[in-house]
């Protein structure tokens, strides 16, 4: 398969990072404004992080569902305009403490009580639109809504700590909880109805501006999720429904203990036996959500790292071959004409290179990984290929200003010489990194909004293997101004993006 992403540039900005008066970004007016600004800036791509409902730790890569949407992103002003809420319902709440940071604790405490008022005021039940939504999404929605209702019923503990009968989805228990939790189950379905209604309108508007949305999906799902509870046989679980082995990555230069992510591993043989039905459903659903799908940790499809569940770190794991091209074939059939980006960062393995070449998917290069002094570093620009996507940094990296401000002068010597930056200005260095990427052969160039705005370390989205301060950064109202827009538009014009 030849290169198939249109030459262009884009911005990585998660929905949560948009401005809004309610403490977190939503599908409201600021999202539409941002799409318009991207269009004015000559951008062709808007990349978001996974849109699923976040669990403990607030990571969009650890969600209660691979299919559901995050209720935090439902726009409150839109609900007010629809008559589902009164302004008084929300004006009595202090939503914002730090304008540029999300307070997830505050979100959890207040947001659902407000959304429940909207649910109680809604006349959605019985409408043609709602019934169509229920039928279209039945394969995952019924399980997700019941899972969330049960989770609330059991004081939000993981499904593995629920009563044994519902934990194991005994038919009589399923019938019992569907009955006693009927209203709460309906509430969770309503939230998904409003989420997808608002998202689809935003996506349609963005597409009309000739901007494609790149969505990100993690390869693994969370143990505490509707996906695992409803499909335990598709994962490597023991008779007590605990993971036998979990996902992660081995020790490397960044971590002597590796990373133990804790996600349950797929039972690929069972998945292959039913022709990857669950994966087909997941990818078909993602293809309806996004124009382009970025698969995080694509390597895990080819060769995955398996850590015995009893170990607390990732030192004693082993690599096991995954389904490779068999799964790629199923994915291609499920997504139709939608496009895939493979996140192929990390361990370089011949098997992954071979599958990536056969699939035709563009891989990734990251500028922050490039200038370590090694002239053979594969992230250096003279190794970039046309069919690739170049990032300044990803959600797991520091911002460019934050990253390079921590380097000593001698460490910056190579990159300054490469870019011909003759002074100590980090602003100029970042400007030249943008120019370097935009002028390159790579089909697509993506920079985080934090790097467009030249935000320092406070704007870092995630520091892997840490909790409590991640996924919080927000852009303030009017921060993305005409100066930044004109700079991006100029680069797009000069370098045919």
Active site residues: 296, 343, 396
Contact between residue 84 and residue 121 where contact means Cβ atoms under 8 Å apart: yes
Distances in whole angstroms, Cα of residue 404 to Cα of each of 254, 365, 413, 421, 465: 17, 18, 11, 13, 21
- Dihedral pair phi/psi, residue 440, rounded to 5°: -75, 175
Question: Running DSSP on this structure, what letter comes out for residue 54?
Answer: B
Nearest to 348 by CA among 379, 381, 326: 379
Q: What is the gyration radius of the CA atoms in the chain, in angstroms?
A: 23
Find the helix packing angle between 182-208 and 104-121, rounded to 10°. Answer: 100
Longest CA–CA separation in the chain, Å: 73
CB atoms closer than 10 angstroms to residue 5: 22
Nearest to 198 by CA among 133, 279, 286, 103: 133
Distances in whole angstroms, Cα of residue 46 to Cα of each of 227, 314, 321, 381: 27, 34, 33, 23
Structure tokens at 430: 């970042």
Rounded CA-CA distance 351/330 in Å is 18
Residues counted in the chain: 497
- With b for 16 or more beta-carbon neighbours within 10 A and e for fewer, the 58-94 pattern comes to bbbbbbbbbbbbbbbbbbbbbbeeeebbeeebbeebe
CB atoms closer than 10 angstroms to residue 389: 26
| Residues 6 or more apart in contact with residue 428 via CB below 8 angstroms | 421
The 8 Å CB, 24+ separation contacts for 480-488 are: 480/34, 480/37, 480/449, 480/452, 480/453, 484/41, 484/452, 484/453, 485/37, 485/40, 485/41, 486/41, 487/434, 488/9, 488/41, 488/42, 488/43, 488/452
Nearest to 477 by CA among 102, 20, 31, 95: 20
């Amino acid at each position: 398969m030849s290169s198939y992403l249109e030459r262009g540039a884009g911005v990585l900005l998660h929905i949560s990072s948009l401005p809004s008066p309610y403490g977190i970004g939503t599908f409201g007016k600021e999202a539409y404004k941002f799409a318009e600004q991207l269009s004015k800036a000559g951008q062709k791509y808007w990349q978001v992080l996974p849109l699923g409902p976040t669990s403990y730790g607030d990571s969009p890569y650890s969600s209660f569902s691979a299919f559901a949407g995050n209720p935090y992103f439902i726009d409150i002003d839109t609900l007010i305009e629809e008559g589902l809420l009164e302004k008084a319902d929300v004006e009595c709440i202090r939503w914002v403490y730090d304008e540029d940071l999300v307070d997830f604790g505050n979100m959890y405490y207040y947001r659902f009580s407000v959304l429940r008022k909207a649910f109680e005021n809604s006349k959605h039940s019985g409408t043609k639109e709602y019934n169509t939504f229920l039928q279209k999404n039945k394969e995952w929605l019924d399980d997700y809504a019941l899972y969330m209702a049960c989770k609330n019923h059991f004081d939000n503990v993981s499904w593995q700590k629920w009563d044994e009968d519902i934990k194991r989805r005994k038919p009589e228990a399923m019938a019992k909880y569907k009955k006693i939790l009927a209203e709460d189950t309906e509430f969770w379905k309503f939230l998904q109805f409003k989420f997808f209604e608002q998202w689809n309108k935003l996506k349609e508007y963005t597409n009309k501006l000739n901007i494609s949305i790149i969505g990100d999906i993690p390869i693994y799902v969370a143990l505490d999720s509707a996906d695992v509870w409803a499909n335990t046989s598709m994962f490597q679980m023991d008779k007590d429904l605990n993971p036998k082995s979990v996902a992660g990555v081995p020790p490397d230069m960044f971590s002597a203990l590796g990373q133990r992510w804790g996600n349950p591993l797929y039972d690929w043989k069972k998945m292959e036996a039913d022709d990857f039905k669950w994966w087909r459903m997941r990818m078909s659903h993602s293809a309806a959500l996004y124009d382009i799908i970025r698969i995080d940790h694509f390597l895990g499809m080819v060769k995955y790292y398996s850590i015995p569940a009893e170990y607390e770190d990732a030192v004693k794991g082993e690599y096991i071959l995954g389904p490779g091209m068999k799964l790629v074939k199923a994915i291609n059939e499920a997504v139709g004409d939608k496009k895939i980006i493979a996140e192929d960062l990390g361990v370089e393995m011949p098997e992954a290179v071979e599958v990536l070449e056969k699939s035709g998917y563009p891989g990734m290069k990251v500028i922050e990984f490039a200038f370590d002094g090694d002239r053979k570093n594969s992230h250096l620009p003279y190794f970039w290929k046309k069919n690739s996507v170049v990032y300044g940094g990803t959600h797991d990296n520091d911002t460019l200003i934050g990253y390079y401000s921590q380097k000593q002068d001698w460490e910056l010597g190579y990159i300054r010489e490469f870019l011909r930056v003759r002074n100590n200005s980090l602003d100029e260095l970042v400007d030249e990194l943008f120019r370097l990427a935009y002028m390159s052969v790579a089909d697509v160039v993506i920079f985080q909004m934090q790097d467009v705005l030249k935000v320092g370390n406070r704007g870092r989205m995630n520091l892997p293997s840490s909790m409590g301060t991640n996924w919080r950064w927000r852009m303030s109202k009017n921060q993305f101004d005409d100066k930044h827009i004109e700079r991006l538009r100029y680069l797009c014009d000069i370098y045919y993006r």
